Amino acid sequence: MTVRLDGQLVRLEGACPVEDAEVLLRLLLASPEAAVDWRACESLHGAVAQVLLASGAPLQGPPASPFLRQWVEPALRAAMRRGGPFPKGEGMP
Amino acid sequence: MNEFLEQFLIESRELVDQASGDFLALEAAPGDRARIESAFRAVHTLKGAAGIMDFHAMGRALHALEDVLSRLQSGANLVTPALVAGGLEAMDRVTGWLDAMQADGVPPAAADAEADTLVARFSGAATDPPPEASVAEEDWAAELLARYPEAARDAACALRYAPDPDCFFRGEDPLARVSRLPGLLALEIAPAAPWPALAELDPFACNLTLLALLSGPPDAVAGLVTGAEVRPLRPGARSADAASALSEPALALLDAQLDLLAGHPGEGAAGRIASAGRVAGNVLRHAGRAGDAEAVGRAAAESLAAGEGSALARAIARARDGGDETPAEMAAPARPAADTSPEPAGPSGEAAARYLRVDMERVDALLTLAGELTVAKNAFAHVVAMVREGGDPVAVAAALSDQQAGLDRLVGRLQQTVLGLRLLPLSQVFGRFPRLLREIAGSLGKPARLVLEGEATEADKAVVDALFEPLLHGIRNALDHGIEPPAERERLGKPPVATIRLRAAREGEQLRVEVEDDGRGVDVAAIRAAAARRGLLSAEALAALPDEGAIDLVFAPGFSTASAVTDLSGRGVGMDAVRRAVERMGGRVAIESRPGVGTTLRMLLPFSVMLTRVMTVEVDGQAFGIPLDAVVETVRVPRSRIVPVGGARAFVLRGRTVPLLALGEALGRSAGGTQAPDVSVVVVAAGDQLGGFEVERLGGQMEVMLKPVEGLLSDAAAIAGTTLLGDGRVLIVLDPQELLA
């Protein structure tokens, strides 16, 4: 499994395919306080990145691959800072 | 000319034809969305082809046109007559380039300047009508540059990529695409629309917009991310608002307009004046020379009214030379108009010949045959002389029969040799897949390599050409469903980079073509479940079906379409299309699956168009053919020896009772009224059964190319195919097995 819940941490590991988006979304909805640990993440489908961005979940990095480290992580953090309309927790049911 | 250039020319001309047809149709019906789509696809493919050939000028021009078309697609702009004219002009220009490449093997030197003209024209067309939109268009790139001043220095282009919401379903990964772009300098990821509450987020609907600055060339970037907006950045041109010096490309553009105005008065002058005026105006405005632009605009109106371009040429020349008072008489003739005229010169459309690569040896064989045919023809002179001299009829007949036999042999060899001319190596179709595989594999995030085997195997051109589509489906399917994701492969101890083999081999009269992957094999249980869900078969029938039979269900029409709706990945995409294509060629297709090891899609195809020897017979005044390999002999049977057996008739041939069928009646024609004492009977073998066809007259034998029956007749039993006779009539060739059954 490339996405799993480990206590209060959702772990993304290896190459996360498009299917992981739904699993990740479910886990984040079930544990709104969870942070996402993507230190073992090698690659990330756009759909998974989208869930990270929409949820605003705190990210524990840096991720494993250079592309994610150099480009995706800063881009996601910047987008979340720019005020994705949700600072953490808002928008939850 | 090398093979790829040849292929490029052939394909490009087809695409140009397609796009031109679409533009013409749009002129008549500007709202026709299907035509807009079609033109977009053609231009897009053409651009890709130019990219493969490293023909950057063509790529640039088509990219600009593609931008215009994509705005039409999104409804942001409407089809205007000017736009149609621009599209057609671009297609004419591309045709000119293709002609030049066909003649010289390399892109023409003038292409760059001509492409600039087109680009300027299209960027004008794109920004002209809705000014507020164009401001916003400009903004994103400018803002992006402002946010990343470091990156801006080296950026060659800015990218805005807003994949459509369904892109995940198509297997696209926007992030993976961006990761492959050359020279990434800055990346921004933002929601396209504000995020909904997390509980309402659809994880599979893409709501991302990606912005990037890149140092890679705009053409290359645009080629890698389809549907994205790529804005080339030319820092020099942009900062030249000092109103003084015009940049190099701007000068070239103005020159091109002067050339345009210099030649060819008369027909089309108005169009050229309008076009030159617009381009020159845009160039000057872009360079911050609003005053000159205005002067050019006024001069263009004046020239249009006068019907000749000298006023406009004067204004452009003045602006070009820094606004001083150079008289036009000096500026215009100084230009070598004849050499650099952008009008397409030389042969155009009809030069679009279709090529076939032919081995020299085969041409030599044909020459030899032609020589032998001449000898055979001369031999007839001898026979003619015999007849003139009142020679013995028996001797004449013998000589004629000799000659006829000789000719028969020669014609047979001629036919074979000519068929041989149509033979192509499969590398022609295989060679297109390495690049396609890379693209598909990249978009699916499954690294794979392609191994070609037996690509030197030859087959008829028709077969080679028709193989592309089924092979593409096969490869896509292998990547989509066969190959596991890299992580899973690693866990299974398989190499992370998958291998797909395209293999071809000759097997007797057949061609075997295979697509083999080293993936997980076919999930038979999933296929059974899907078939049950869709009601393709009853539960009992499914339970009784062996695994091989269940795998065959992926070829069932409707299996794929239904699944594409229900499953995210679209299981079994296009496999029924594969079967249709292969069966159209008269071949068969099967899948062999080894769970955990891989899947093989195997196609068995006829090696060439089939030649069949038939015997003609006449029934009710109409000729029919009977395949000779079914005919045992022909006999004349006295009516008295035909005896009724039950409701049918039969006769005895050398101690065997042979059922007799009146062919006319069997084919639903009149029974034929002759009551001659004997009947002509063709004895045919069907399996180990003999049968006799009663016919009115026996004809000769001939070798024909049998065409399978299509359309309305395709359901008619007892017809093996049709062929054209020398006099243009259609000969229907019967299927004796069916008739006797």
CB contact under 8 Å between B197 and A93, yes or no, is yes
Give B160→chain A minimum CA distance, Å. Answer: 14
pTM over 0.80: no
Q: What is the distance between the alpha carbons of residues B333 and A51, in angstroms, rounded to a whole number?
A: 65
Q: Per the structure block, which two tokens stand in for B436? A: 């396609």
Q: Which of these, B109, B80, B59, B22, lies nearest to B278 by C-alpha position?
A: B80
CB contact under 8 Å between A85 and B195, yes or no, is yes
Which of B43-57, B417-431, B454-468, B562-576 has the least mean pLDDT? B562-576
**Which residues of B are less than 8 Å from A47 in CB distance?**
168, 173, 203-204, 206
Q: What is the distance between the alpha carbons of residues B54 and B107, in angstroms, rounded to a whole number?
A: 9
**Percent of chain B residues past pLDDT 70, beyond the cut:** 84
State the Cα angle at B112 between B109 and B116, rounded to 5°.
155
The three state secondary structure string of B490-546 is HHCCCCCCEEEEEEEEEECCEEEEEEEECCCCCCHHHHHHHHHHCCCCCHHHHHHCC
**What's the pLDDT at B365?**
87
**What's the pLDDT at B240?**
34
B571-576 mean pLDDT: 59
Distances (CA, A) of A69 to A2, A72, B37, B45: 18, 6, 38, 34
| Residues 6 or more apart in contact with residue B666 via CB below 8 angstroms | B693, B718, B739
For chain B, the average pLDDT equals 79
β-partners of residue B159 are B212, B230
B5-13 mean pLDDT: 85
**What's the pLDDT at B331?**
36
B731 or B726, higher pLDDT: B731
**What's the pLDDT at B601?**
93
Residue B622, CA atoms < 13 Å, CB-side half-sphere = 17
pLDDT at B130 exceeding the cut of 50: no
Nearest CB partner across the interface for A93, out of B187, B191, B199: B199
Give A32→chain B minimum CA distance, Å. Answer: 10
CB contact under 8 Å between A15 and B487, yes or no, is yes
| Sheet with B611-619: strands ordered across | B697-705, B611-619, B622-627, B730-734, B719-724
Q: Phi and psi dihedrals of B203, rounded to 5? A: -65, -15
β-partners of residue B295 are none
Q: Highest-confidence range of A10-24, B76-90, B673-687, by mean pLDDT?
A: A10-24
**Which residues of B are less than 8 Å from A2 in CB distance?**
487
Read off the pLDDT band of B192 (50, 70, 90).
confident
CB contact under 8 Å between A91 and B485, yes or no, is no
Nearest CB partner across the interface for A15, out of B187, B197, B486: B486
Task: Map out the domains of chain A with their CATH numbers.
Answer: 3-81 (3.30.750)
Amino acid identity, position B661? L
Task: Please answer whether residues B242 and B211 qualify as being in contact, where contact means their C-beta atoms are separated by less than 8 angstroms.
Answer: no
Q: What is the distance between the alpha carbons of residues B716 and B728, in angstroms, rounded to a whole number?
A: 22
Interface of A to B at Cβ within 8 Å reads 2, 14-15, 17-19, 21-22, 24-25, 28-29, 42-47, 49-51, 53-55, 67, 71-72, 74-76, 78-79, 82, 84-86, 91-93
Report the residue of chain B nearest A42, measured CA to CA.
Answer: B487
pLDDT at B530 exceeding the cut of 90: no
Asked, as a colleague might, if the bond just before B327 is cis with ω within 30 of 0, I would say no
CB contact under 8 Å between A46 and B174, yes or no, is yes
Nearest CB partner across the interface for A53, out of B168, B189, B199: B189
Q: Tell whether B483 is within 8 A of chain A (Cβ).
A: no
Report the residue of chain B nearest A43, measured CA to CA.
Answer: B176
Strand bridging mode B719-724 / B458-460: unpaired
**What's the pLDDT at B260?**
77
Q: Phi and psi dihedrals of B205, rounded to 5? A: -105, 120
Read off the pLDDT band of B65 (50, 70, 90).
very high
Which of B386-395, B595-604, B729-738 has the least mean pLDDT? B729-738
CB contact under 8 Å between A75 and B189, yes or no, is yes
**What's the pLDDT at B255?**
82
Q: Which of these, B193, A57, B443, lies nearest to A48 by C-alpha position?
A: A57
CB contact under 8 Å between A91 and B208, yes or no, is no
**Percent of chain B residues past pLDDT 90, beyond the cut:** 9
Instruction: Give the number of beta-carbon pairs within 8 Å between A and B.
Output: 103
Site from A10, A50, A80, A81 to mutate, B interface, most B CB atoms within 10 angstroms: A50
For chain A, the average pLDDT equals 82
**What's the pLDDT at B341?**
35
Radius of gyration of chain A (CA): 12
Sign of CA dihedral B546, B550, B555, B559: positive
**What's the pLDDT at B522?**
86
Amino acid identity, position B39? A
**What's the pLDDT at B221?**
80
B636-654 mean pLDDT: 88
Read off the pLDDT band of B465 (50, 70, 90).
confident
Q: How many residues does chain A have?
A: 93
Read off the pLDDT band of B603 (50, 70, 90).
very high
**What's the pLDDT at B259?**
79
B591-618 mean pLDDT: 84
This complex has an ipTM of 0.88
Amino acid identity, position B217? P
DSSP letter assigned to residue B246: P
Q: How many CB atoms lie within 10 A of CB B102?
A: 18
**What's the pLDDT at B558?**
61
Q: What is the distance between the alpha carbons of residues B135 and B122, in angstroms, rounded to a whole number?
A: 17
B348-354 mean pLDDT: 34
Encode burial over B166-188: b for 16+ CB neighbours within 10 A, e otherwise: ebbbebbbbbbbbbebebbbbbb
**Which residues of A are less than 8 Å from B187 in CB distance?**
71-72, 74-75
The three state secondary structure string of A36-64 is EEEEEEEEECHHHHHHHHHHCCCEECCCC
Task: Please answer whether residues B425 and B463 qualify as being in contact, where contact means their C-beta atoms are separated by less than 8 angstroms.
Answer: no
Q: Tell whether B567 is within 8 A of chain A (Cβ).
A: no
B608-630 mean pLDDT: 81
Q: Long-range CB contacts (< 8 A, 24+ apart) of B167-170?
A: B167/B206, B168/A18, B168/A21, B168/A45, B168/A46, B168/A47, B168/B204, B168/B205, B168/B206, B169/B204, B169/B568, B169/B570
**What's the pLDDT at B560?**
54
Which of A16-25, B39-48, B127-136, B294-303 has the least mean pLDDT? B127-136
Report the residue of chain A nearest B190, measured CA to CA.
Answer: A79
Task: Please answer whether residues B159 and B141 qualify as being in contact, where contact means their C-beta atoms are separated by less than 8 angstroms.
Answer: no
| Sheet with B643-645: strands ordered across | B631-638, B678-686, B689-695, B656-662, B648-653, B643-645
Q: Per the structure block, which two tokens stand in for B420? A: 């041989």
Q: Model confidence over B255-314: pLDDT tens digits? A: 878 877 776 556 667 777 877 888 888 778 777 677 788 788 888 887 877 777 888 888
**What's the pLDDT at B266?**
60
**What's the pLDDT at B337?**
36
DSSP letter assigned to residue B106: S
CB contact under 8 Å between B485 and A17, yes or no, is yes
Q: How many residues does chain B have?
A: 741
DSSP letter assigned to residue B265: -
Residue range B611-740 in CATH 3.30.450.20: no
β-partners of residue B158 are B213, B231
Q: Highest-confidence range of A84-93, B91-100, B282-291, B555-564, by mean pLDDT?
A: B91-100
| Residues 6 or more apart in contact with residue A91 via CB below 8 angstroms | A85, B195, B196, B197, B198
Task: Please answer whether residues B383 and B400 qualify as being in contact, where contact means their C-beta atoms are separated by less than 8 angstroms.
Answer: yes
pLDDT at B584 exceeding the cut of 80: no
Strand bridging mode B588-594 / B598-606: antiparallel
What is the fold of B425-606? Heat Shock Protein 90 (3.30.565)
**What's the pLDDT at B72?**
85
**What's the pLDDT at B727?**
67
What is the fold of B3-127? Four Helix Bundle (Hemerythrin (Met), subunit A) (1.20.120)
Q: Give CA B452 to chain center in angstroms.
A: 21
